[in-house]
Structure formats: structure tokens, C-alpha cells
DNA sequence: TAGATTGTTAATCGATTAACAATC
DNA sequence: TAGATTGTTAATCGATTAACAATC
């Protein structure tokens, strides 16, 4: 299915198309043009058409794109229809936030377990998940291999945990710990969510404005 | 101080230099070369030197860069020494996570207040902050104008809140709500943290691996 | 001094934008 | 058919990489 190399720039725009097309579909909009999409998302019409043509054109000349079919093409490309499995490691405030409020299914994942090191938290029930001990990760993996692990645990434990998960054979890690993980050489995809990097960028921008 | 235009690519690397240089300083490392930095961060030595030369060279030929002075230059460029003020709006799980665990000072901010709409949460004390009602935002701003607002509230309230904050005159918004905010035309800098975009990117990558 | 490493210019590469023929 | 809008090629722009003279 995936023939040629798709650049990171394109890939990072796919979720934005997905989100907006979903919005259009909910509103009952049937068709959309590259220029309308571009306007809504802050891209250019050329860029939009180039992006879609990475995967083979989904449009119709003189008409534009059919919202539902474009949405399902994009969903298929991202893989959100695949029902990957995910576990979360570290059930502090952030872990709770994700388990309680985050729509994993919308992103192509099922959350199958949660683990924590603290005896106070192990056993806690959140929604339909009961927090297990981190000691049980390996045995749980053997019974229920998961595709990715979500790291929301203290900095100090991250490197060890990442190694352990790599040995187990996870496909990816969603890393919230502000430790830069690079496991590409071991075939593990890592997506780092660096809150601090994001806030520092904003810091730069408002400092900048101050100086103008 | 800020003379020429600096590209977004460069700006987004600054926090990474900052983090790694801080690490080096803590370890007591006195000097570092562009190639060592590049290796640690996954950049190229050329890129590192180009980046620093956007702001005027900080190095010494034949020697490299002095860790502490490079760190403080970069800190000054980002503006993390500026003590901007921030308030958080929405004190659910994610809001709690940030208030409890996030190192705002490291990013150049002081958290001065927290607001929530729910009577159950208003009045709660977290660290040295007492949660106020969202109704008090305007009057609080008049007494204690803040530079940025952190949005960790439900999707449905975001657009209204963003407008209100824009009217008040905030400089920036750190947006965690998965609603794409664009307020650049009103002079408000927005940094969107889209969890779903990030996880979808990982979804794409592990789906990709699956097909290889 | 010789060795190392920067600062900076030039070359390359890739991504974005523009243009327009194809076609619904 | 005429109008609209795609798919696709070519042009432009910007970012990354390479190279090397300057110099500590």
C-alpha cells in the first residue's frame, strides 16, 4: 500500500486534514475544494493538492473532493482504522488526564492497560481499566502484546523503561517525559511530546514581540 | 536586540540546545564543539554553527563553545530569564498535572493564578495557588495583567475564552485543547499542543512499519 | 608552531508555490 | 458547452550540508 517515501512535512499535515474533514462531515458538508481546505487550515491550495497526490489523487476535476471519501482515504493512510493497542506507564496527574479524557480510538488505538510503580495507585480503577504494577509489564506483554507504550512517568525511570520496552518489542513509544528518546536504530518509533520545548517557543515569541 | 528574521526551524531547535547545555553544565562540562552538540542532538555540525551564527557567533576558533556562556546566550535569546507571568484556565486532570509537576520557571514563566468554571474546584488549593472562578479572570487581569494564558479546558469553551483573552490583551496562549486556534492577526501568539496530531503521527509510523 | 574548530560562503537538496493543460 | 477545479510539471524559495579560509 505504501509505495513511495512521504516526507515528514506531509505526514504532520495529515492529522490536520483528518480533523477538519471530520468537522465538515459532521456539519453535513458533502464536497470541498483544495482552496477551501487550504483557507481553513492555513495552507495553500497547491500544497493541499500536492499532499493528496502523494497518495494518488482523490479528487475530481471541476468538482473538488468528496468529504466522506477523502476523510476515509486519509484515515486509512494514517492508519486510525487499525485498532492498535496501547498501554500507559505512569498514572500520575498526566496519566489520569489521558486515561480519563483522551480519545484514543479517534487516533487508532485501544488503551488496554495502565501501570504504575506506586503501591498507592496500583489497583485503582479508572473507567474500565485497573492500574497494574510495573513489575507485571513483561508478563502482561506476553499475554497481550501491545503496539505502543505511553510514557508518563518520572524522568529518572525513563531510560530504563525505554530499554525494557525495546527488548519486549514494542513498535512505538509516545513519550511525555521531556527526555529526548532516540530508539530509531532499534526499530522503535518515538513520538516525543516536549511541553517545555513548546512553552519555550512561546516564550521566544512573546519576548520577541516585546522588543519590536 | 532581535535584528533579523529567524526561521521557525531555528527557533524550534533552541529549546533542545538549551536542555542539552543545561545537562552539560550540571555535569560540569566546560566546553563543547559544534560536532559534539550535533552528535548528541541528532543535528549536523554545520547546522549547529549556522544556528548560532544567526545571533552572532558565540564560539572560539580552535576551541569550540564555552558551555556556561553559550547556555546563557541561548537562555537570553529564548527569553527564559524574563519571568513572564502565566495563568492556567481549566483545572481538570491536565491542569492539575501542569500546576503540580511542570517547571514553569525553567521556561521563563511564573504561574500566578488558576481558574476553573466548576464550583467544586474553585477554592481548591494546589501548591501555593488557590483556584479562582473563571468569572474573576477580567478583574484579576486588571490587578495583575498576565502575559499568557494556558488553556486546559473543555473544547466547547475554547473559542469564547480565546476571544475574551484576546480582548483583555494577553500576548500568548498555550493551547492544549485540540482546537486549532489562530489569533496571529490579533497579535496573539498561539502555541498549540495537539496530542491527537502527535499520536496520529505515531499511528502512521507504526502502521507504516507494519507494511514494510 | 601545529592542530583544532569556528564563521561564513557556496552548493545542494527538498519543500512550497505558481502555472496551466487535462477533464469533469 | 462553459466554468470550475484537479493533477502535474516547472519555477521559486528556503533550509541543510559541504567546504574552506580565518584564527584561536
Measured in angstroms, what separates residue B30's CA from nucleotide C1's C1'?
26
- Nearest DNA or RNA nucleotide to A35 (CA to C1'): D5
Q: What is the pLDDT of residue A88?
A: 98
Q: What is the mean pLDDT of chain A?
A: 94
Average pLDDT over residues B2-12: 84
pLDDT at residue A2 is higher than 80: no
Q: What is the pLDDT of residue B57?
A: 82
Q: What is the pLDDT of residue A212?
A: 37
pLDDT at residue B175 is higher than 80: yes
**A20-24, A46-50, A106-110, B208-212: which range is least confident on average?**
B208-212
Tell me the H-state helices in A6-154. Answer: 8-27, 34-41, 45-53, 67-78, 93-101, 137-143
pLDDT at residue B210 is higher than 80: no
Q: What is the pLDDT of residue B52?
A: 97
Closest alpha carbon to B107 in A207, A104, A109 = A207
Give the chain B residue whose CA is nearest to the CA of A78: B204
Give which of B87, B105, B200 to mutate to test A binding, by max A Cβ within 10 Å: B200
Cα–Cα distance for residue pair A100/B97, rounded to 1 Å: 13
Cell reading at B191: 502555541
Percent of chain A at pLDDT > 70 equals 96
Q: What is the pLDDT of residue A5?
A: 86
Percent of chain B at pLDDT > 70 equals 96
Footprint of strand D on the protein (CB under 7 A): A 33-35, 45-46, 49-50, 52-53, 57-65; B 7-10, 43-44, 46-47, 49-50, 60-63
Measured in angstroms, what separates residue A34's CA from nucleotide D10's C1'?
20
**Which tops the pLDDT comparison, B130 or B210?**
B130
- Nearest DNA or RNA nucleotide to B36 (CA to C1'): C5
> CB contacts < 8 Å between A and B, how many?
191
**A91-95, A182-186, B101-105, B114-118: which range is least confident on average?**
A182-186
Q: What is the pLDDT of residue A208?
A: 63
Percent of chain B at pLDDT > 90 equals 92
Note the pLDDT tens digit of each residue in B73-129: 999 999 999 999 999 999 999 999 999 999 999 999 999 999 999 999 999 999 999
Q: What is the pLDDT of residue B164?
A: 98
Average pLDDT over residues A90-114: 97
B136 part of contact set with chain A, CB < 8 Å: no
Measured in angstroms, what separates residue A204's CA from nucleotide C7's C1'?
25
- For residue A20, CA distances in Å to A61, A74, A169, B6, B55 come to 22, 11, 34, 30, 38
Q: What is the pLDDT of residue A3?
A: 52
Cα–Cα distance for residue pair A28/A124, rounded to 1 Å: 41
Q: What is the pLDDT of residue A1?
A: 41
Q: What is the pLDDT of residue A210?
A: 38
Q: Which residues of A touch B174 (CB under 8 A)?
A: 198-199, 202
pLDDT at residue A163 is higher than 90: yes
End-to-end CA distance of chain A: 50
Protein-proximal positions, strand D, CB < 7 A: 2-9, 14-19, 22-24
pLDDT at residue B47 is higher than 60: yes
Cα–Cα distance for residue pair B117/A202, rounded to 1 Å: 26
pLDDT at residue A128 is higher than 50: yes
| Shortest Cα–Cα distance, A139 to chain B (Å) | 23
Protein-proximal positions, strand C, CB < 7 A: 2-9, 14-19, 22-24
Cα–Cα distance for residue pair A63/A65, rounded to 1 Å: 7
The model's confidence at residue B208, banded by pLDDT at 50, 70 and 90, is: low
A24 part of contact set with chain B, CB < 8 Å: no
| Shortest Cα–Cα distance, A198 to chain B (Å) | 7
Cβ–Cβ below 8 Å for B198 and A207: no
Contact B19, B78 (CB under 8 A): no
Cα–Cα distance for residue pair B168/B145, rounded to 1 Å: 9
Note the pLDDT tens digit of each residue in A11-49: 999 999 999 999 999 999 999 999 999 999 999 999 999
Amino acid at each position: 500500500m505504501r509505495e513511495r517515501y512521504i516526507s515528514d512535512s506531509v505526514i504532520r499535515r495529515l492529522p490536520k486534514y483528518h480533523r477538519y474533514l471530520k468537522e465538515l462531515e459532521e456539519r453535513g458538508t458533502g464536497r470541498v475544494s483544495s482552496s477551501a481546505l487550504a483557507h481553513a487550515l492555513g495552507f495553500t491550495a497547491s500544497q493541499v493538492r500536492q499532499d493528496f497526490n502523494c497518495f494518488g489523487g482523490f479528487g475530481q476535476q471541476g468538482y473538488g473532493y468528496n468529504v466522506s471519501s477523502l476523510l476515509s482515504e486519509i484515515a486509512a493512510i494514517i492508519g486510525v482504522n487499525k485498532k492498535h493497542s496501547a498501554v500507559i506507564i505512569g498514572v500520575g496527574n498526566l496519566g489520569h488526564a489521558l486515561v480519563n479524557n483522551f480519545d484514543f480510538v479517534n487516533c487508532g488505538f485501544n488503551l488496554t492497560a495502565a501501570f504504575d510503580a506506586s503501591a498507592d495507585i496500583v489497583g485503582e480503577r479508572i473507567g474500565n481499566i485497573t492500574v497494574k504494577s510495573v513489575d507485571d509489564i513483561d508478563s502482561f506483554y506476553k499475554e497481550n502484546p501491545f503496539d505502543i507504550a505511553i510514557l508518563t512517568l518520572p524522568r529518572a525511570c525513563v531510560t530504563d523503561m525505554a530499554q525494557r520496552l525495546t527488548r519486549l518489542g514494542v513498535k512505538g513509544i509516545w513519550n511525555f517525559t521531556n527526555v529526548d528518546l532516540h530508539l530509531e536504530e532499534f526499530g522503535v518509533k518515538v513520538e516525543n511530546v516536549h511541553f517545555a520545548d513548546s512553552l519555550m517557543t512561546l516564550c521566544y515569541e512573546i519576548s520577541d514581540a516585546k522588543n519590536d
